[in-house]
Each structure stands twice: as C-alpha cells, then as structure tokens.
Amino acid sequence: MEFLVRTEITPPDLPDDKLASLYDSERDRARELAEAGTLLRLWRIPGRRANYGLWSAPHATALHDALTSLPLWPYMDIEVHPLAAHPNDPSPISLE
C-alpha cells in the first residue's frame, strides 16, 4: 500500500558539524529505506524545510516504524495520506 507523506522539519539547534552529521545519517537511512522499497520518491516543497514523499508499506504500523527510524524524525511534523489504486494510474504498483 502506498502513502503520501508530508513532512516539515524544524532542525535542532546543534553545532554545524553535529548537524551535518545528522543530515548525513538521514541521507544514509533514506537510502536504506529506498533500497528496501519503502521510500519510493521524495520531493522538496520549494522554499521550505519540508518535503512530500511517496512511501510503500504493508500497513500504517510498518510505515510508522519506517518514519520513526529516520534520524531527523524527532524534529519532524508529519502528515500521512493513505492512497488507493486508481484505474487510470499509468504505473500502478502491485498490491500484495
């Protein structure tokens, strides 16, 4: 099942190197989630520290686990929108 996820980030007040290291680990975890087929797409919302993501997970509990595994999660405000299949979708993913 796919989910549209909107995320706003309020980065913590850390020294520059600690913050850079936090963002590095965020990038690494995002890559792992992408390789696992959980994170499908990610876009910046222009002008903001915010993004839209397209996620795939068996259910909302698995999605919650994936989202809270992100190093920046404590600094995120997240809204999850469940997505259903549309017959006109050009590139549907299989539902299993």
Please, what is the minimum distance in Å from the beta carbon of residue 50 to its own copies?
Answer: 10
Nearest in space to 77 (alpha carbons), one of 2, 3, 6, 4: 6
Verify binding: residue 86, its own copies, rule CB under 8 A: yes
Q: How far apart are CA 38 and CA 69, in angstroms?
A: 12
Verify binding: residue 19, its own copies, rule CB under 8 A: no
Q: Using CB under 8 A, count the residues that bind its own copies.
A: 49
b/e sequence 83-94, b meaning 16+ C-beta within 10 Å: eeeeeeeeeeee
Task: Give the footprint of its own copies on this chain (CB under 8 A).
Answer: 1-5, 7, 26-27, 30-31, 34, 39-48, 51-52, 54, 58-61, 63-64, 67-68, 76-91, 95
